[in-house]
Amino acid sequence: MTKLLVTGGSGFIGCNFIEYMLKTYPNYEVINLDLLTYAGCLENNGAVQDYPQYRFIHGDIRDRAFIFELFEKEQFDWVVNFAAESHVDRSIEDPSSFLTTNVLGTQVLMDACRCYGVKRFHQVSTDEVYGDLLLEDDTLFTEMFPLKASSPYSASKASADLLALSYWRTFKLPITISRCSNNYGPFQFPEKLIPLMILKAMKNEKLPVYGTGQNIRDWLHVWDHCQAIDFILHKGRIGEVYNVGGNNEYSNLTIVKLILDELGKPYELIEFVKDRPGHDLRYAIDSSKIKYELGWEPLYTFEDALRSTISWYVDKFN
């Protein structure tokens, strides 16, 4: 039986990944390690809490003594690291927790993986490590694109990526990295664009949009992301980076209007606010490598999946 440690497994993407893996591989044992900060809660794991092959452990990836004791006891086969501070605005207000969790926490995990012979360490990263592209450009981020982080958050993720690649080169730690575009779907903490706008629209509150709202993001449904990591774990090449994109480029303003249309709310709720410092203009992912090497392609269509995501939040928060 494969024993899989998922760090940050009570957060948005982590909880969906655990559910995906337990449903896809019922013979795998999945251990969820989460500190349960503001963005993670055990309620997110409600769908799997009664699975006999699932366990939750409360803990901090930065705590070296705790992590090494846990690895010695459990003898994990694979580790997938979702544990991260991830909100750009928070990283601008206080970069320190992003550096300690996203960089030093990743180092602690990889040191434990080296010591206890873990067969795969997978680092979950972001397209934000590449910086941004011009709005009028048709360039896409490939895995060979230079890293040019714009925020303390993306700089911390780029640092963790480089550290992981150095552990492969220097220590032969079997690592893989995925860099994904913006995720959406159930259980996302409502500081991110889509859930924030849904919840504010439901209450007829003003919807704050940075600048002119023309910044473009590529959107990926969270379960497509989960399947991509599954493919990388089972078929990916050690030491490689794989970009994972949804091929759904929309401006922030367009996303907000789609949400208002679905909820039957007026555009007058939109309120343009002062732009975020260093706000990236456009993200766009080239997923050719994972498509042609591993056979992965997104299954969800954006229009239908956005509609179902809106319905999920309406049902949960009504």
**Is 240 considered catalytic here?**
no
Question: What gap in Å lies between CA 156 and CA 285, rounded to an integer?
Answer: 20
Strand partners, 193: none
Residue of 127, 132, 161, 230 with catalytic role: 127
Whole-angstrom Cα distance, residue 249 to residue 136?
Answer: 12
**Selection from 79, 166, 71 nearest residue 123 by Cα:** 79
State both tokens at 203: 């209450």
Tokens 């230079």 belong to 146
Catalytic hit among 54, 153, 300, 313: 153
**Which member of 29, 34, 60, 128 is catalytic?**
128
Helix (H) or strand (E) holding 177: strand 175-180
Determine phi and psi for 31, rounding to 5 degrees.
-110, 130
Q: Does the annotation mark 230 as catalytic? A: no
Q: How far apart are CA 61 and CA 71, in angstroms?
A: 11
Can you read off the two tokens belonging to residue 181?
């575009």
Residues 6+ apart with CB under 8 A from 255: 193, 194, 197, 217, 219
Q: Catalytic residue at 250?
A: no
Which residue, 295, 232, 273, is CA-closest to 17? Answer: 232
Q: What is the dihedral of CA 13, 17, 19, 22, to 10 degrees?
A: -170
Q: What are 66's strand-pairing partners?
A: none
Identify whether the C-beta of residue 218 lies closer than 8 Å to the C-beta of residue 127.
yes
Query: Hey, which residues are catalytic here?
Result: 127-128, 153
